[in-house]
Amino acid sequence: MNILDGGLSAVKGYKTAGIFAGIKKLKKDLALIVSDTPAAAAGVFTVNTVQAAPVTYDKAIISAGNPVRAIVVNSGNANACTGKPGLLDAAAMAATAADALGAQSGSEILVCSTGVIGVPLPMQNIESGIRKAAELISSTRESAFDAAQAILTTDTFTKEIAVEIIIGGKPVVLAGIAKGSGMIHPNMATLLSFIITDANISADTLQGLLGTSISSTYNMISVDGDTSTNDTVLALANGASGSPRIKRGTEEEPTEEEPTAEYTLFAEAFDYVHAYLAKQIVRDGEGASKFIEAQIEGALQESDAKLLAKSIITSNLVKTAMFGEDANWGRILCAMGYSGAHFNPDTVDLTIASSRGEILLLKQGLPVPFDENIALAILKEHDIVIKAVLQDGNAAAAAWGCDLSYEYVKINGEYRT
């Protein structure tokens, strides 16, 4: 697998644009990702009971299994808690994009919105913006960067990645862009992620891969434990690479057979792209001064390992300890204890590590005397690994989070207006 420059522009058969449409005050706020031909599409969405209009709209498109021509995204307004008019606005965005791009209908278009909630979309600006963006779409590096920029809200940097694998002798490229986590009008930290590939793969197979990949990437990150109303991950595959069809087995999904070599190769690249973007979102977490990886080894089941890893990176007490550069293993063990996972606390080994070294804090569930100065030196670094080795089984998992800082309280405590 090779890492490529170029972001979304590294993938064959797609064009992109990112423009200022007048939804935000100054910055780019509307993006188009367009496949030259109808593409297989997959999507996963927020599990929040309160779902934004574009989430409702996209779910219907994805579950119908129709090929998709484009994704249209606006930032600055989430089109959430907007009732029936909001649903009509989402459909109108799709219809306008279909018309401007020469697609058959709005059912070939996926729609995403992120930003302030409870405010109707400024549809005049959005519709004229979509038509303007449709004229500007191109396969240049600049257009790809513009699209990556136009989906951002309070993000402090763009998040893009492209990787290449070889399938049947042909280069196949996967690329993605993502946004998270914050807003100019702080409301909730929406996660949006778009992955496109020129692989030849069915929508069903892509959806199966997406479901699996999500559970160990986006679902293992946390900035503040709040699940947004708009979270959406969409994947498109248009087959423009000319590579052979990627199937899970000799048939399409589902199958009991061992996965094929090309499926495994594609799945690895797909996971890599998601994990990269997920980690980038955490690195840009609101007010974050540390990037924290929790690693669990030796768990009874993967589900236990995931609960334990996620509980560590979600705990406010662990997060404030990391902000304070305090090797406070008690809070880590405590967070593991209330995670709901099955594990034996009396056989836990706990270490913290960074580029400055590693230090053992707990051996067989009991504290080990350690040099506080060495611990402090390790925790002074930006990237911290908390590792718990259990003796309950062979399952492992990792989760990624950030610290809880004054800046987080400031960003989210400031008055909206």
Judge contact between 275 and 395, C-beta under 8 A: no
- Tell me the closest approach of the beta carbon of residue 316 to its own copies, in angstroms: 4
The structure tokens listed for 397 are 């998992």
| Interface with its own copies, residue 118, by CB under 8 A | yes
Cβ-based nearer residue to its own copies, 202 or 222? 222
Interface with its own copies, residue 373, by CB under 8 A: no
Residue 416 contacts its own copies per CB under 8 A: yes
Q: Quick one: which segment of 163-171, 233-241, 325-333, 382-390 binds its own copies (CB under 8 A)?
A: 325-333
Which is catalytic among the residues 190, 217, 314, 351? Answer: 190
Catalytic annotation present for 16: no
Task: DSSP for 113-167, please give it.
Answer: EEEESSS---HHHHHHHHHHHHHH-BSSHHHHHHHHHHT-SS-SS-EEEEEEEEE
Which residue in this structure is represented by tokens 């909206």?
Answer: 416
Tell the smallest beta-carbon distance from residue 144 to its own copies (Å). 31
Q: What angle do CA 123, 129, 133 make, to 5 degrees?
A: 150
Which range of residues in 60-68, 77-85, 91-99, 137-145 is near its own copies by CB under 8 A? Answer: 77-85
Question: 322, exposed or middle or buried, with CB in 10 Å at 0-12, 13-18, 19+?
Answer: buried
Q: Please, which residues bridge with residue 360 across strands?
A: 351
Instruction: Work out the angle between the directed axes of helices 261-283 and 203-216 (0-180°, nearest 10).
Output: 50
- Check residue 161 for interaction with its own copies (CB under 8 A): no
* Contact call for residue 325 and its own copies (CB under 8 A): yes
How far is 127 from 96, CA to CA, in rounded Å? 6
Among 271, 297, 326, 381, binds its own copies (CB under 8 A): 326
Is there binding between residue 102 and its own copies (CB under 8 A)?
A: no
Identify whether the C-beta of residue 68 lies closer than 8 Å to the C-beta of residue 38: yes
- Least distance between its own copies and beta carbon 24 (Å): 18
Q: By CB under 8 A, which span of 167-175, 236-244, 269-277, 399-407 interacts with its own copies? A: 399-407
User: 248: number of CA atoms within 13 Å, CB side?
Assistant: 14
Chain residues binding its own copies by CB under 8 A are 47-51, 80-83, 116-119, 186-189, 224-229, 315-317, 320-321, 323-326, 328-331, 333-339, 341, 343, 345-346, 362, 365-367, 372, 376, 404-406, 408-410, 412-417
Which residues carry out catalysis?
A: 190
